[in-house]
Amino acid sequence: VASPAASPQKAPLASSENMPTASTAGPGVVSAEDHEAMRAAFEAAIAERDRTIAQLEEDNNALQEAVQECEDAMATIMTMHRQQITGVQDQRRTEVLALHAELDAERAANNTLRAENVSLQETAERYLAVLRQAALEEEASVADAELRESILAREAEDLRALLAAQDTDLGLDSVDTNSEQFAAFVAANPASASS
């Protein structure tokens, strides 16, 4: 703040003995009346200057207070802005962390499902292999049974033909395998019965 300038030293008033009088003043010499008028005007100018300086100092102080208030308000606004930005950043950071956690959980769930899928697929392949093996064994068993049935049918046919030939040799037109005569014949000819 500019301090008021020091008032200039007032010139000492001239004594009545040293001041020129109208009777003694020559051309170009200031009279006492003019001197007093000039002095009064000078003092009035100094007083006006002092009032102006005081007003400027008051205005300067008011402006400084206004600037300080603006600086305080700006500091408050910046603090609130930083707090808001920090809050938004913290919220976004929290949301990002939550999203990462959800993604990690989904990845873990997908990995678990993938592992279960692989395990189920392997189990299904084992079951299919067992079913194929059982089907093959069933086919082999059916084929073996059919083969045995065919062999037994041929053996039975051969036995019937043999019995028919023996009946012809013995002069029997027909043989009742359930009759006592057939039982006696089998007992008497065990080799024929076994063949």
Q: What is the pLDDT of residues 45-77, one digit of tens each?
A: 999 999 999 999 999 999 999 999 999 999 999
pTM here is 0.36
Tokens of 167: 């009946």
d(CA 65, CA 3): 17
Query: 179: alpha, beta or left, given left = phi > 0 and alpha = psi -120 to 50?
Result: beta
Instruction: Report whether 54 contacts 1 (CB < 8 A).
Output: no
Rg (CA), the chain: 71
Q: Which residues, other chains included, contact 11 with Cβ-Cβ below 8 Å and sequence gap of 6+?
A: 39
d(CA 154, CA 165): 16
Q: What is the pLDDT of residues 139-186, one digit of tens each?
A: 888 888 888 888 888 888 888 888 877 767 665 555 555 556 666 665
pLDDT at site 183: 63
pLDDT at site 167: 66
Confidence of residue 10 (pLDDT cuts 50, 70, 90): very low
